[in-house]
Amino acid sequence: MFFRTFTDEKLAQYSYLVGCQRTGEAIVIDPPRKVDHIIAVAEKEGLEVVAAADTHIHADYVSGARQLAVEYGAKLYLSDEGDENWKYEFPEGVEIELVKDGSTFSIGNVEFKVMHTPGHTPEHISFILTDRGAGATEPMGIFTGDFVFVGDIGRPDLLEEAAGMVGTAKAGAHEMFKSIQKFKQLPDHMLVWPAHGAGSACGKSLGAVPVSTVGYEKQFNWAMKIEDEAEFVEELLKDQPEAPVYFAQMKKVNKVGPAILKHEAPHVITNADEFENLRTKDDVLIIDARMPEIAQKDLVKGSINIPLNGSFTTWAGWLVKYDERLVIISEEKDREEIMTALQSIGLDNIYGFVNPETIASVEKTTYETISLDDFIKEMEDDDVYVIDVRNVSEWKAGHFEKANHHFIGYFRDVKLPENVKKVMVYCETGIRSAIAASILKARGYEDIKHMTSGYEEAVRLNKIPV
């Protein structure tokens, strides 16, 4: 058997290529939208990807299952669990086998058995793998999707928080408790291959280790230790992080079937007049993908800075609207990475890219970056409005007394008091506050300052004003 894990670091998402070397067939579990790199590995190993399987209708990224079906002829294994709201609606012309609890299918001599594991979502399934080709009579491991992570379990509140499906969070938590009891019956030796690791918004305390075992999770995963169902439900629902707003869109996209990616080079804007004309359009959003220390000094008026780092996809999902045409300021070397990141969450409406030198003559603006000491001193001024853009759990753990909490994910629409003129922004380390500062500038606020470090440094240096 051939086995390979693929990681999208910006989404903390894992996909798996599993192949039977005797028959030359392979399957991709929870495939990403862009699959070229997986296909390349399969071909190098002499394998043909003949199938793909999703553990559930994903909310945090666009599944590549339909891409594999249309472009490579892969057969899809998809869940038939859940009520009518949780049935796939893919267009005709795609070969699909709907599977339920207890269903089995094989890719060459590798067997997969379906286990219904609702809780994160009603239709969620897991795949138990047995390598029959190696003579195994017991399973090797389980692909748990967003059910069991390393050190955590999937959150059941996404449907309610992101999609507005009232009452589903508590019901999902009860379903998760039942699914956990089923998981505990599995042999301790089985490997656990989750769909996400640390950094994903699909849980609240995911581990950074990409693989575990059933026995290890039974012993050390907090969710496995709680025997009382009511206590379990309360703990699971407590202190979950904010649900990204784009999750609701992902649910729709993955249910009906994502658009097929075309292998086309991006449009490049080489004329400053064309860029200037686009900048004035109401349906156009200018994203500056350069690092804050660069973008700050060269910020196009009306643009927002979302730097191309490990959190780029997350903040694009929070801040970009799906009906906006996107124009991205970036270096040429970063274009492909940016396109992949945006398309991984369905932000396909990319009008084009522009190089920094092309817009040298375009109207610019800036905000000020100041040190921790200067921030603490200046925020005591009576006319200053101080904003903490961290998430609610960070805010509750501690914040500057004068601060007002406005989570960065809602920043493009946040309403500040009418008399606010001077704004000072901070976060934990200075990265999110830089994004927030650029958004405030785009919204017309002129006197903006953000802290170059953040609250973390203030705590470490014992400089919290009292």
Question: What global pTM score does this model have?
Answer: 0.94
Q: Cβ-count burial of 208 within 10 angstroms (0-12 exposed, 13-18 middle, 19+ buried)? A: exposed
Which is it for strands 152-153 and 148-149: parallel, antiparallel or unpaired? antiparallel
Average pLDDT by stretches of 10, the chain with 466 residues: 96 97 98 97 98 96 97 97 91 94 98 97 97 95 97 90 75 97 98 93 85 97 97 93 88 94 91 92 96 94 96 96 97 96 97 95 94 94 95 93 95 91 95 96 94 94 83
Cα–Cα distance measured from residue 56 to residue 78, given in angstroms and rounded to the nearest whole number: 8
Domains in the chain: ranges and CATH:
2-256 (3.60.15.10), 268-365 (3.40.250.10), 368-460 (3.40.250.10)
Q: Residue type at 130?
A: T
Cα–Cα distance measured from residue 369 to residue 378, given in angstroms and rounded to the nearest whole number: 12
CB-based contact 185:126 (threshold 8 Å) = no
Using DSSP's 3-state secondary structure scheme, residue 376 falls into helix
- The span from the first CA to the last CA of the chain, in angstroms, equals 61
- Which secondary-structure segment (H or E) carries 326? strand 325-329
b/e per residue 361-399 (b: at least 16 CB within 10 A): ebeebebebbebeebbeebeeeebbbbbbbbeebbeeeb
